[in-house]
Chain A
């Protein structure tokens, strides 16, 4: 199941549509790394609203993905982690350290606007 990736201004939005296998997660990571370059994207939103489980593999892949995209010059924000999913992640001791997480798509766009504007601001 391939994840559709939409372009919105200088952002890419990856909207996960169903449960993903490990291979799908890795494919998403590689697709985003490539497209950030192709579209010169500054920010990436990954919408995980439909995911009913974010396990250790998914967490690690999301962390690696955000780190890779950061090396490619784009900020990443994960949106839509469901309350039960967050609960299970906490129980598992999983953290998305270094990765922005916000409530939903709207907040994700605001998060990137703020972060990217902040980066772009010339120093004193």
Chain B
């Protein structure tokens, strides 16, 4: 169950927005009842995908949603940009690969930190990354493979 009216939209245009976005994510994660270490993992993942927007598309948006499924809660973060798109998603998800001289840790790292991670990218149109983390009570969803 997800209430779109409660979604939080955040513009990502400068590196300061990265700090604001991960603070926002941290607050939401705490509200959703995540454990302390999970809150930090979520904040770190947000930092990486927000930076990915800036590096590749210059600007974009993060949308935070809280989703409830039975006894479980989930924080979903969608990163959307209208940048150049990712030519080779498989390659972009390879640890240590960077198209711009970074560590090549951002996207694969964010995937490791979260439970679900999906990329849709169209060249010339933009990229949408959806990632989710689930609280650990109730029936935990299986982890996506690392």
Contacts and interface: CB of A to CB of B under 8 A. Distances in A.
Interface of A: 19-23, 52-57, 59-60, 83-85, 87-89, 91-94
Contact of A55 (B16, B26, B36, B47): B47
B18 A52 contact: no
B15 A88 contact: no
Interface of chain A, main secondary structure: helix
B48 interface: yes
B19 A21 contact: yes
B103 A53 contact: no
Given A21-B18, A22-B15, A22-B18, A93 B109 contact: yes
The contact size tier of chain B is 20 to 34
Given A53-B40, A53-B44, A88-B41, A60 B18 contact: no
A20 B112 CA distance: 24
Contacts of B95: 93
A26 B40 CA distance: 23
Given A19-B23, A52-B22, 4 more contacts: A53-B44, A55-B47, A56-B51, A88-B41
Residue of B19, B22, B39, B112 contacting most chain A CB atoms (<10 Å): B19
B105 interface: yes
B70 interface: no
Contact of B22 (A53, A83, A87): A53
Contact of A53 (B15, B43, B105): B43
A55 B23 contact: no
B102 interface: yes
A55 B113 contact: no
Given A55-B51, A56-B102, A91-B109, A23 B40 contact: no
Contacts of B102: 56-57, 60
Nearest to B47: A55
Contacts of A22: 15, 18, 51
Nearest to B40: A84
